Structure 1
Amino acid sequence: MKITPTIRAELEQFLQQENMSLTQFGQIAGMNRGMVSAIVTGNKSMSVNQLDLITEAMGLPEGYYYDLFIENFIIDHPPNMRRIEPFLFRCAELDKLDAIRRVVGAIMDNLLYSPKLFEIAETLLAQGRNAAALILYEGVAEAEKYQHSERLAICQYRIFTIRVGDDQEKSYDAAVQFEPYIERLDEIDQLDALRALVNIYRSLRKWAKMDTFATALGNKAEIQYRIDLQRTKGEETKKPFYPPFVYWAFSQLIRAEVCEANKDFEKALLYTNTYADLSWVKDTDEITVKWKKQFKEWAIINTYLNKLLSGDTSVLADYVTYVSSRKDELLPALDIIVEAANRYHFDVDDILNQFEVEISSYLEEQKIESFYTQRFIEERIIHFSMELSVYYLTKGRFSDGFTFLLNCLAKSTLINNKSYIIKCVKLYDSYQEYATPETKVTYRNLIKEVEEDEA
């Protein structure tokens, strides 16, 4: 049987080796002699603050004895949250994530500790310590998985928002895992949760899921808008991040996008006209006016987009003129223009030359300041790269075509977008006979990265 050492024994051994008295050690550690004596003799338990002082006085790295602290004072002991809470915060500060996992595993058999751990997780999340908070949320969610509680739903919501990141496969998995818990959130949180879910599926071009959750978002936002109208002015209530009509209009915009993806341009235009007219929103505050103006502008842009994707090239010049002075809209517009050019086989060289500098900046920069989410922008850049590669390869401009194809493959590999990786491989296979030796080497290296990621 393995005997677990104790921090007290380690301290006692240190004092003997250094031939140091309790008083001398206490002076170094900033603790009085009585406190050191009580710790050494076992007459007093130890706090994480005292452990940190002792560790520093012994000349050891921060957190050196945290595993022993868990063994000595947490595992096989009745959980004492006055000791555990500061210990968890300290572990989070030092990024001792394994220690946090051990503590959670040791105490979460008892549901009585869920509320406190949830509270700690919320504080850590507010501090930006997402990795530490995630462990606590997962622990609470696992312990309460059969409770059907709102706290469980909030934990799953937090887990979803933390897990969503650059890796698109993992983001998709996080979204799917969160889906069943939306209805357990309160009505206000549901609006923001559905918006977040729609944006994830939007960046992944999951059209069916976009439509499902955009529809749910629109219905709930409409109900919330009506409830707000019936409230007494000045009544204090929980508010969503945006006014309810914004969620409703956004849901119509998304449904229009889905229709355009499915080439149902007539229905897409109906949705676009629906969110263009927000005259029924009577508030005149600054935020309301701003959003009404924004959706009207999006409706104009998306009407051009709709017509262009349906094959009406007569709007092309007006479309370019309208978006050229709107920085946030230029990338999506250029993407759609090249997609339409590939679909209907018309020339857009003059437009690409006109915005050559902007296109280069889109493809080179890792982060772009924009109204849109970074995930949306990343997906647009990848899709744009793919459309440009198709455009140039089809025209026999192989150098340009392979440049954009390799750019698309590199960015798709970086965020683990398997759909685009497969498209890049298929497109390369169709034109590989025109690839230069340098292009072939770069392509093989990128494919090697993909294979290593899959291993």
Structure 2
Amino acid sequence: MRPSILKLLNPDIIVEMLEMANRLEDWDKMLNTAGILYSYAQCIYEERLYHKAKGIPVPLMDMQRPLVYYFGFSHLMRGIAYQKQQKYDDAREMIYRYAELGWMEDLGVEGEAIAEEFRGLARANLYMVDILLGKIGLLEKYCCFLEDNPEELLPGLGAILQAATQYGLDVKDLLDRYAEQSAGFGAYEDRDNISYYCCYCYHLAIYHKQAGRIREALDWTVQAIQLAHQSRHDSNFKRCLALFEALRERVTAEESRRYDEVLADCLAQVVLELPEPPPAGVPI
């Protein structure tokens, strides 16, 4: 994309587009849009360096955050998309890019703080990618990291459970270790943490299913369905429904009741969101 066009873009709208693509799990869209955001940031940065070298005023741009944020966010979103596509080597490359943004000139106090925030995200996400790659020897170090960074515990345990189901690991001792903290996951009310908790419940259900603990698997599956519906995350909802149907033969009356309640509530919401029909005689 030509620099003259890039400079006309609003980076904060691109950030919103990336967040929407992430919620919709449109990974290809995320990669493409993140590439545009990176090109924008690179274009503006090069222009600033040119003006600085010439000793002329740097033009002001319409952006809500320091430029370093858009560099970091573009790499972060590409890393997430690659991770979800299980392209872990590509995800690691993106993580290394936003792990160190100190190469930028004139960061300032706010820019340094943003760069440090991305360094923290990089540490968390690099551990996660390595665990998903099956580097089980890092589990204890990862657990120490999670204990020092409790805000990462929920997504971290979700990743550990995903790796456990993928590689046939027994992580009962680890789950017991964090039983007290995980008991509070259900108190989260923000959308992102509800989505993380839904994934945690889903992978925990699969973990119990693989171990033959069908009762536990069903209980966590129903809970995951309720969370997916609560967060209105269609992809999670479909995955959880498919898992429930895979366990259908062992469903109890109570589990069936809870399942039917969720579906009834879902149907009621759909009906409420339907547009009103036009009055009789009015052409559609």
Would you say the 8 A contact 1:323–1:333 is kept in 2? yes
Seen in structure 2, the aligned counterparts of structure 1 residues 417 and 268 have a Cα distance that, compared at 3 Å, is closer
Would you say the 8 A contact 1:222–1:244 is kept in 2? no
Deviation string for 1:295-318 (max 9, x for gaps)?
222222222111111111111111
Residue 309 of structure 1 aligns to which amino acid in structure 2?
Answer: L
Would you say the 8 A contact 1:199–1:376 is kept in 2? no
1:314 alignment counterpart? 137
1:217 alignment counterpart? 37
Residue 383 of structure 1 aligns to which amino acid in structure 2?
Answer: C
TM-score, scaled relative to structure 1: 0.54
3-state SS in 2 of match to 1:199: helix
Instruction: Could you tell me which runs of 5 or more consecutive residues in structure 1 were left unpaired when the two chains were aligned.
Output: 1-184, 368-374
Seen in structure 2, the aligned counterparts of structure 1 residues 357 and 239 have a Cα distance that, compared at 3 Å, is farther
1:361 alignment counterpart? 184
1:301-380 to 2 correspondences below 5 Å: 301-367=124-190, 375-380=191-196
Deviation string for 1:198-223 (max 9, x for gaps)?
11221232211111111111110111
Seen in structure 2, the aligned counterparts of structure 1 residues 186 and 272 have a Cα distance that, compared at 3 Å, is closer
Would you say the 8 A contact 2:164–2:170 is kept in 1? yes
Residue 209 of structure 1 aligns to which amino acid in structure 2?
Answer: K
Deviation string for 1:172-225 (max 9, x for gaps)?
xxxxxxxxxxxxx99476211111111122123221111111111111011122
Seen in structure 2, the aligned counterparts of structure 1 residues 365 and 269 have a Cα distance that, compared at 3 Å, is closer
Q: How far apart in 1 are the matches of 2:189 and 2:219?
A: 17
1:181 alignment counterpart? none
Residue 17 of structure 2 aligns to which amino acid in structure 1?
Answer: L
| 1:402 pairs with one of 218, 228, 232 | 218
Would you say the 8 A contact 2:88–2:129 is kept in 1? yes
- Count of aligned pairs between the two proteins: 266
1:75 alignment counterpart? none
Q: How far apart in 2 are the matches of 1:320 and 1:214?
A: 31
| 2:18 pairs with one of 186, 198, 202 | 198
Of all paired residues, the percent bearing the same amino acid is: 21
Q: How far apart in 2 are the matches of 1:264 and 1:236?
A: 39
Residue 116 of structure 2 aligns to which amino acid in structure 1?
Answer: K
Q: How far apart in 2 are the matches of 1:203 and 1:323?
A: 24
Q: How far apart in 1 are the matches of 2:266 and 2:216?
A: 23
Seen in structure 2, the aligned counterparts of structure 1 residues 233 and 358 have a Cα distance that, compared at 3 Å, is farther
Higher relative contact order (CA 8 A, sep 6+): 2
Residue 139 of structure 2 aligns to which amino acid in structure 1?
Answer: L
Q: How far apart in 1 are the matches of 2:133 and 2:6?
A: 41
Residue 208 of structure 1 aligns to which amino acid in structure 2?
Answer: D
3-state SS in 1 of match to 2:212: coil
Q: How far apart in 2 are the matches of 1:254 and 1:235?
A: 28
Alpha-carbon distance, 1:402 to partner: 2.4
Residue 278 of structure 1 aligns to which amino acid in structure 2?
Answer: L
Instruction: Could you tell me which runs of 5 or more consecutive residues in structure 2 were left unpaired when the two chains were aligned.
Output: 272-284
Instruction: Name the Cα RMSD after superposition.
Output: 2.5
Would you say the 8 A contact 2:205–2:220 is kept in 1? yes
1:286 alignment counterpart? 109
Deviation string for 1:403-439 (max 9, x for gaps)?
3212211122233333222222221121123233211
1:442 aligns with 2:243: no
Would you say the 8 A contact 2:222–2:244 is kept in 1? no
Residue 137 of structure 2 aligns to which amino acid in structure 1?
Answer: S
Would you say the 8 A contact 1:207–1:258 is kept in 2? yes
The structure number with the bigger radius of gyration is 1
Seen in structure 2, the aligned counterparts of structure 1 residues 248 and 236 have a Cα distance that, compared at 3 Å, is closer
TM-score, scaled relative to structure 2: 0.84
Deviation string for 1:21-66 (max 9, x for gaps)?
xxxxxxxxxxxxxxxxxxxxxxxxxxxxxxxxxxxxxxxxxxxxxx
Residue 249 of structure 2 aligns to which amino acid in structure 1?
Answer: E
Seen in structure 2, the aligned counterparts of structure 1 residues 264 and 258 have a Cα distance that, compared at 3 Å, is same
1:240 aligns with 2:56: no
Q: How far apart in 2 are the matches of 1:305 and 1:236?
A: 40
1:383 alignment counterpart? 199
| 1:268 pairs with one of 85, 91, 101 | 91
1:174-185 to 2 correspondences below 5 Å: none
1:259 aligns with 2:82: yes
1:433 aligns with 2:253: no
Would you say the 8 A contact 1:188–1:239 is kept in 2? no
2:234 alignment counterpart? 418
